[in-house]
A and B are shown apart, each in its own frame.
Chain A
Amino acid sequence: MATVVIIYLVCTGVGTAVALLRPPLMPRYNLLLLIAVVPQIGSLLSIWIPGMFLVSVAAFCIWCLWNRNIAGVLIVAIGVMLNLLVMASYGGAMPIYSDVLAGVGHPLPHGSVMIGSKDVVVRSAYLAPLSDWIVLLSGTRTIIASPGDLIAIAGIAYWLLFSHPTKEGDTHDVISRHPRIA
């Protein structure tokens, strides 16, 4: 859990710094994101309530739909949906191969649920290529990602770097309200 908190704080800090230099177009209806994140935090804390995964998926889908015109949001949506697709097969947990864990020095039995993560250890997975198998960091801190994670991160980076509020809409608005222009 500590690693997740560190990642959250670092990413929030980096996001704030980038947004300060180049303000991105802000998505709307961010309350939906909060609704989507609560069940995910629950699963990180090993709290499993029936239906919480569905709430998360529904809130996230609606948020993406309403913000689909913002650059990067569709990329984030694709990445997250890939994750949610494979997680749906495991009741809201992300499968991770026991072989991958053994490879990074954490041999665990099949069926173990990882504390402080959304992962469940499996011997073989449905939709195996979409599960967690990409080792990003190994050692004192271990980070293993799925292809969906990387796509979602790319989408977030794209949103931060390439979506900027344009003045066009405002300009047209101002022109059309000018009394001498019909």
Chain B
Amino acid sequence: MKSRILRAIAAGLVVGTLLVAGTASLAMPGGRIAITIAGK
């Protein structure tokens, strides 16, 4: 059971890491956001 929980946590971390590494969705709270970089 303990190993199953650990594997599940590991799988969850893979999910989160894959999302951050692989997706590029813009996610922002309303309000503040941008800086302007010349040449971009």
Residues of A within 8 A of B (CB): 2-4, 7-9, 11-20, 23-24, 26-27, 30, 33-34, 36-37, 40-41, 44, 46, 56, 60, 76, 79-80, 83, 87, 90-91, 93-94, 96, 105-106, 108-109, 111-121, 132, 136, 139-146, 148-149, 152-153, 156, 160
Q: How far is the CA of A116 from the CA of B33 in the complex (A)?
A: 8
With both beta carbons as reference points, the residue of chain B lying nearest to A20 in the complex is identified as B8
With both beta carbons as reference points, the residue of chain A lying nearest to B5 in the complex is identified as A20
* Residues of chain A lying within 8 A (CB to CB) of residue B33: 106, 108, 112, 114-116
Provide 8 A-B residue pairs closer than 8 Å at the C-beta atoms, listed in order of the A residue. Answer: A19-B8, A20-B8, A40-B21, A108-B33, A109-B34, A112-B35, A141-B30, A153-B19
Count contacts on B: residues with CB < 8 A to the other chain. Answer: 35
Contact B19 A156 (CB under 8 A): yes
Residues of B within 8 A of A (CB): 4-5, 7-30, 32-40
Contact B26 A144 (CB under 8 A): yes
How far does the Cβ of B27 sit from chain A's closest Cβ, in whole Å?
Answer: 4
Q: List 13 other contacts, CB 8 Å, given A106-B30, A111-B39.
A: A7-B27, A19-B7, A24-B11, A30-B17, A36-B22, A37-B17, A40-B20, A83-B23, A106-B28, A109-B34, A112-B37, A113-B34, A145-B23
